[in-house]
Chain A
Amino acid sequence: MLLNQFLMLGAVLFCIGVYGVIVRKNAVLVLMSIELILNSVNINLLAFSLRNGSPDGHTFALYVIAVAAAEVGVGLAMVLLMYRNRRSVGLDDLSEMKG
């Protein structure tokens, strides 16, 4: 197996995730895209871990998973709050911060 095949898979997933983050309007879908990005990073970490024979990548992949879980929890709570307050989860409706 080549190292690059994993890294490139990661790159493709990452860019798909980026596309999702930019294009999606629904907040839940944006969060899903972020999950894609995080997973692609994990694949990279593990590929390098195998290459270097070191467990560091595993440790950090675990940490990434934990952080992602926390992020989803808070993110969805925010989406819920947003829905409750304005009956919509469209991110375009949230432009109070417009300068």
Chain B
Amino acid sequence: MLASDVLVAQNVGFAIIAAIMVIGALRVVTTKNVVHAALWLVVVLAGAAAQYILLAAEFLAVTQVMVYIGAVMVLFLFGTMLTRAQIGAEKNLNNKNAIIGLPIAVLLLATMLIALNDGFKAEKLPADTPLVTTQQVSDQIFGIYLLPFWALSFVLLAAAIGAIVLARRD
């Protein structure tokens, strides 16, 4: 297979996954069913994992699947079920802010697209640079970014304790 073929395949793959992701994301914010929203979110997150692989970040992709789809989504589903017995469609999921929400989102999108188009135009991602290995990432985490790592560990600890304290029934 030629290198250009690979690139074409990648581009096609990207387009398909991106389309699925955008549709999924739109469904997440428009669906009338909370459980459906959660399932659409799974689609978006899985798509994101696929995009990570396209971006040569396998480790991140695996982490994404494990953490998001494996843990966070379960949390969401539990949260949904614990708070709302109703699984089916329901009304009243949206508030009256749609009038301001839509313009703001469109304005933000337009601004970003203009800025991106202006900033990077048709810049290509390099196809020949050495890929980032997981070893490099771990060297960084336990090397120069050790302090943020510690901070993050405390954040997680605090979050775990906080979640328990908040959700505890007493």
Partner-B contacts on A (CB < 8 A): 1-9, 11-20, 22-26, 28-29, 31-33, 35-36, 39, 42-43, 46-47, 49-51, 53-56, 58-59, 61-63, 65-74, 76-81, 83-84, 89-92
Whether A59 and B75, one on each chain, are in contact in the complex, defined by CB atoms closer than 8 angstroms, is no
Asked whether A28 lies within 8 Å of B79 as measured between CB atoms, the reply is yes
Per DSSP, chain B at the interface is helix
Q: Is the interface of A mostly helix, strand, loop or mixed?
A: helix
**Is B83 touching A80 in the complex (CB atoms < 8 A)?**
yes
Contact A89–B105 (Cβ < 8 Å): no
Asked if B75 and A76 make an inter-chain contact with CB atoms under 8 angstroms apart, the answer reads yes
Q: Number of contacting residues on B, CB 8 A? A: 90
Contact assessment for B116 and A16 in the assembled complex, using a CB-CB cutoff below 8 Å: no
A16 with B26, Cβ < 8 A, contacts A36-B44, A59-B140, A61-B60 known = yes
B residues within 8 A CB of A15?
A: 105-106, 108-109, 112
Contact B97 A68 (CB under 8 A): no
Cα–Cα, bound, A35→B79 (Å): 15
Q: Given contacts A58-B132, A63-B148, is CB(A69)–CB(B18) below 8 Å?
A: no
